Structure 1
């Protein structure tokens, strides 16, 4: 069998990123980030069960600038995945397939995720300090 050089289908370097494709990839990425971020939550719970020293170590990490950055990103992922999931439910019901509607709902997802994240952190910091 002679190996023939066949054309490959176009890939990411050929296509210009569009909002719909970027949001679709982001939905998958936030799902993975939520799974990985849940490990931090499980570590915190296990540390709480293990005793005061382990809990203090976990709290020190989570309260550090890097831990807070991870929590901020995790909360954005949570809201983004939630809002985009609701958008997908509308699509499952047959609404929002027209291109202007898809773009409008896409920007609404991004705005709602950002707004809910910031609002949650403002409220959380005001209440919990």
Structure 2
């Protein structure tokens, strides 16, 4: 029978033990932004369908999207879209074999957060 000495065995990484790193957090955020965009897509499709259906239906959905809460949702959606785009770009760079060092990967992760925020603000100001 195998020796079951649990005291000398290393602990496996767990959320309560594992220290989050920029590379892991940015990867998790890419997945979360993709899910957020998936949840936001029916709202955009509903807005387009309402525009094709009737004026009263379009006015209701457009009124919601132009409210402060709708603008907040759309602002978050724009940020998620930019963040997800930058995350995919980072993976393309990695697929070509560039920027695989830990320090550069951490800087790219921080650049994704900052870049998505700056691009979101520019998008809102331009549009």
TM-score over 0.5 for the pair: yes
Is 1:86 paired with 2:94?
A: no
Q: Aligned-pair RMSD on alpha carbons?
A: 1.5
State the Cα distance separating 1:108 from its structure 2 match: 1.5
1:71 to 68, 71, 74: 74
1:51 aligns with 2:66: no
Q: Structure 2 unaligned runs (5+)?
A: 1-5
User: Which residue in the other structure is 1:127 paired with?
Assistant: none
Deviations 1:33-83 (A, max 9, x none): 011111110110111111000000011100011100000000000000001
Moved over 6 A (4+): none
Is the counterpart of residue 114 in structure 1 residue 109 in structure 2? no
Q: CA deviation at 1:112?
A: 1.1
Q: Secondary structure at the match of 1:70?
A: helix
| 1:89 positional shift | 0.3
CA distance in 1, matches of 2:60, 2:49: 12
Instruction: Please report how far the alpha carbon of residue 9 of structure 1 lies from its aligned counterpart in structure 2 after TM superposition.
Output: 3.6
Between the aligned partners of 1:30 and 1:69, the Cα distance in structure 2 is 15
Q: Whole-Å Cα distance in 2 between the matches of residues 61 and 12 of structure 1?
A: 38
- Alignment pair present for 1:33 and 2:52: no
Structure 1, unaligned stretches of length 5 or more? 1-5, 125-129
Relative contact order, higher structure (CA 8 A, sep 6+): 2
Secondary structure, aligned partner of 1:116: helix
Q: TM-score, normalised by structure 1?
A: 0.87
**Which residue of 2 is the match for residue 101 of structure 1?**
104
Alignment size in residue pairs: 119
